[in-house]
Amino acid sequence: MSYLSSELLAVMAARQLVGVGSVFAGVGTPLLSAVLAQKIHAPRLIIVVEGGSIGLEVIPGRLPISTNEMRGAYRALMLPSITDTFLFAQRGFLDVGFLGGAQIDRYGNLNSSVVGSYKSPKVRLPGSGGANDIISLCRQVIVVMMHERRRFVSRVDFVTSPGYLQGGHSREKSGLLFGRVSRIVTNLAILSFEDETKEMRVESLNPGVSVQDVTENTGFDLLIPESLPVNDPPSETELRLLRSLDPERKFLRTEGSGPITHVRNDRSQ
């Protein structure tokens, strides 16, 4: 089988939720991956969205495109207010936060506000929404995004959502004593952070990806171990279920201006 980079990204993200009890998911690929994980890897996973739905059920082909629409409330276990939803996170009830962003830097800080200066930006982005709260309050946060040089920058133009700030213990010193950014899942690799310096490091490569592919698409030096495992490619079951969730391909599309690329699901190639 062949698959798109966006499909590879969604599958790799879903695999991170094995054994997880609850996930606070943003719309788009994070929510798509959470639903896929629930159907394959984590059947008891409770999905939470910012609009106030806890334990929602997603109908294939009707994935919510906003955190505040009624498709996100279908057969939910609870429908609290937005304030109460974030209070659950503040009290430590939510295991994992799933986030995306326009930029990320070597210390896991995310930008979804502006490209360029804040007062006179080149691009004005949607902003924080609940992303700052999620990254500050959930037990751990997994970032899901396409791996491009323009996204992986040495320093984000604006810190919308704080990762490890300047590295080291700066996150704790700023008052963020709970939670952490644990992993970044991309279409090229899975990355994490060094324990002391909090610099980004490569954990594993996706099928058909080389270390050079990763470094060429990153705007700063990564920590790279001498040997790296290669992740298993998406299975037929994962791809079939994933595509059934988004048949109109609202989320399963290749980002950027380049053509859609197919990657062979064949370890022998």
Q: How wide is the angle at C-alpha 192 spanned by C-alphas 18 and 121, nearest 5°?
A: 110
Torsion, Cα of 22, 89, 198, 103 (10° steps):
90
Check if the beta carbon of residue 190 is closer than 8 Å to that of residue 216. no
DSSP string, 69-89: SGGGGTT-SB---HHHHHHHH
Nearest to 159 by CA among 146, 170, 149: 170
Burial 95-104 (b: 16+ CB within 10 A, else e): bbbbbbbbbb
SS3 152: strand
7 is catalytic: no
Cβ-based neighbour number of residue 111 at 10 Å: 21
Q: Which of 50, 69, 148, 203 is catalytic?
A: 50
Q: How wide is the angle at C-alpha 43 spanned by C-alphas 37 and 44, nearest 5°?
A: 115
Check if the beta carbon of residue 9 is closer than 8 Å to that of residue 185. yes
Check if the beta carbon of residue 21 is closer than 8 Å to that of residue 95. yes
Given its phi and psi angles, is residue 52 left (phi above 0), alpha (psi -120 to 50 degrees) or beta?
left
**What are the residue numbers of the active site?**
50
